[in-house]
């Protein structure tokens, strides 16, 4: 699976949009970009995933560049409850042989939402 | 989305003993995973547990230390055997929802070994 690079930490004012970048310059054509977050003392929570088109759900928007080498997770109106570590993960969706479906977690970005 | 329950939520154990962690999913799932999260670190996959077959362990993890059971499509257990203080971590269960290829996680078991 392709490796991702994320900033170690970011701050965002409450009520503003939080834009979390992720670089995945070695991504393959059949690899998806997944975003998870982990709020303190909880298990990781799925946020969103996409292949090449921008995606939006009730939690966030995912913007993937045309060359697919980077992406941005957008939380449109950050609240204090969005304070968490955000993980960007790249992997093939579906079965692709041994090790399929595994999620490889990096260090993620610690987002602090400031009142 | 699948709801995953883990028991116990936390435990304090003595060196040399074993602890079995239970993971219950509210729907049938083919694949379940066990992760370890050491203090201040990210998650590391221990093993993948498929119903009806032996668990597949990642490098650095062995069955004698972390035996796993997967008796049906909604339940799995992870045992941490012959514990030492280095085993103090959060252990997380995860299940893959086949139709959407999304993984859901339990809240984790916080283990402290004295």
Which residue of B43, B89, B93 is the best one to mutate when testing the A interface, meaning the one whose CB has the most A CBs within 10 A? B43
User: Residue range A86-107: average pLDDT?
Assistant: 81
User: Residue range B48-61: average pLDDT?
Assistant: 90
State how far the Cα of B24 lies from the Cα of B7, in Å rounded to an integer: 9
pLDDT reported for residue A76: 97
- CB nearest to B92's CB, from A43, A87, A94: A43
- CB nearest to B108's CB, from A43, A102, A108: A43
Greater model confidence, B56 or A96: B56
CA-angle at B109, arms to A84 and A78, nearest 5°: 15
Contact A33, A90 (CB under 8 A): yes
- Pairing label, strands B43-50, A55-56: unpaired
How far B18 CA sits from the closest chain A CA (Å)? 23
Summarize pLDDT for B73-111 with one digit per residue, the tens. 999 999 999 999 999 999 999 998 777 778 999 999 999
pLDDT reported for residue B30: 84
State how far the Cα of A7 lies from the Cα of A11, in Å rounded to an integer: 11
User: Residue range A21-35: average pLDDT?
Assistant: 93
Whether residue A103 and residue B94 make contact (CB cut-off 8 A), yes or no, is yes
Whether the pLDDT of residue A24 is over 70: the answer is yes
Phi/psi of residue B86, nearest 5 degrees: -65, -15
pLDDT reported for residue B53: 82
Whether the pLDDT of residue A99 is over 70: the answer is no
Summarize pLDDT for A71-91 with one digit per residue, the tens. 999 999 999 999 999 999 998
Q: Touching check for A3 and chain B: CB below 8 Å?
A: no
Give exposure, B67-98, as e/b (b: 16+ Cβ within 10 Å): bbebeebbebbbebbebeeebbbbbbbbbbbe
Whether the pLDDT of residue A112 is over 70: the answer is yes
Q: Touching check for A50 and chain B: CB below 8 Å?
A: no
pLDDT reported for residue A100: 67
User: Residue range A37-46: average pLDDT?
Assistant: 95
Q: E strands, A1-115, where?
A: 9-13, 18-23, 31-38, 45-50, 55-56, 61-64, 70-75, 84-92, 109-114
How many Å from the N-terminal Cα to the C-terminal Cα in chain B? 37
Q: Touching check for A86 and chain B: CB below 8 Å?
A: no
* Alpha-carbon separation of residue A87 from A45, A112, A113 (angstroms): 10, 14, 16
Place of tokens 């509210």: B26
Whether the pLDDT of residue A103 is over 90: the answer is no
State how far the Cα of A109 lies from the Cα of A12, in Å rounded to an integer: 12
């Amino acid at each position: 699976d392709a490796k991702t690079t994320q900033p170690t930490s970011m701050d965002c004012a409450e009520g503003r949009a939080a834009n979390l970048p992720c670089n995945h310059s070695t991504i393959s054509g059949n690899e998806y970009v997944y975003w998870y977050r982990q709020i303190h003392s909880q298990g990781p929570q799925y946020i969103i995933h996409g292949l090449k088109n921008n995606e939006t759900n009730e939690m966030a928007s995912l913007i993937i560049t045309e060359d697919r080498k980077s992406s941005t997770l957008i939380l449109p109106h950050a609240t204090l409850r969005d304070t968490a570590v955000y993980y960007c993960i790249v992997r093939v969706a579906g079965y692709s042989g041994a090790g399929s479906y595994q999620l490889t977690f990096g260090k993620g970005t610690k987002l602090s939402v400031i009142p | 989305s699948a709801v995953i329950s883990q028991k116990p939520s936390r435990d304090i154990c003595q060196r040399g003993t074993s602890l079995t962690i239970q993971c219950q999913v509210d729907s049938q799932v083919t694949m379940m995973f066990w992760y370890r999260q050491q203090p201040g670190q990210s998650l590391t996959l221990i093993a993948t547990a498929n119903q009806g077959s032996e668990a597949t362990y990642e490098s650095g993890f062995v069955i004698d230390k972390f035996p796993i059971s997967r008796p049906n499509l909604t339940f799995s257990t992870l045992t941490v055997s012959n514990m030492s203080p280095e085993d103090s971590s959060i252990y997380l269960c995860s299940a893959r929802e086949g139709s959407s290829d999304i993984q859901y996680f339990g809240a984790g078991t916080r283990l402290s070994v004295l």
